[in-house]
A and B are shown apart, each in its own frame.
Chain A
Amino acid sequence: MTEFLQTGLTAHYNYWIYIILMLIGLWAMMAKVNLIKKIIGMNIFQTAIILFYVSIGAKKGGTIPILEHAPGHGHEYIMDAALYINPLPHVLMLTAIVVSVATLGVALALALKTYREHKTLDEDEILSHLSE
């Protein structure tokens, strides 16, 4: 147990941060009754996933995945895989960020529509309206 905690705190603490962040988002989505708070929870959840992916791509001693010019005045580039961090998670998350904004927009539109219909954003009240 102590060994697990030690490796966790020294080598895997980044994953623990994302797990806690993800659980905060999940908690908001499950336990909160206000629809806007649920949407905010969804966004926190998405942020946790984005951070998780970006941290997978990290390499000790690596720089951003844009090729750098070799020393001198030539047009040569340094192309050593150990010097650059993994570009793939960055590509995936680049699109995921924009898509998360788009889903946020649609979610807010649905919440607004619900509010116009029921005059409340409280989930329990909406359910009691619907069952009447």
Chain B
Amino acid sequence: MEKHVLLIEDEPNIAEAIRFILSRDGWQVSHEADGSRALARVRDLRPDLVILDHMLPGLSGLEILAALRADPATAAIRVLMLTARGQGRDREAAVAAGADRFMIKPFSNADILAEVRAMMEP
């Protein structure tokens, strides 16, 4: 069965590239660009993995992550956090909020693919 990834990213071209890379690798990929709709999408789709951008319109990545972790229905979903800022405190904040992995933009296609594969290993 195809594993399902929900990509929450407001940059359309980045989202398109990630979606292409993961789809080609056999993942089912859904996309959401608006932070305020992201929580509802996660609850509806129940993805195996969420790739979550740090800076989003509506609701920030950290706020979404905190809400996911606070809800028993979504608390166990693995989350890969993306950021274009890369500062130490962003990483600390993401880890504190419950991110499983953290990647700094710009990343290579091979790197994000490797991260996703590693996170989906049983």
Report if A and B associate in a common complex: no
Please list the residues of chain B having a beta carbon within 8 angstroms of any beta carbon in chain A: none
Please list the residues of chain A having a beta carbon within 8 angstroms of any beta carbon in chain B: none
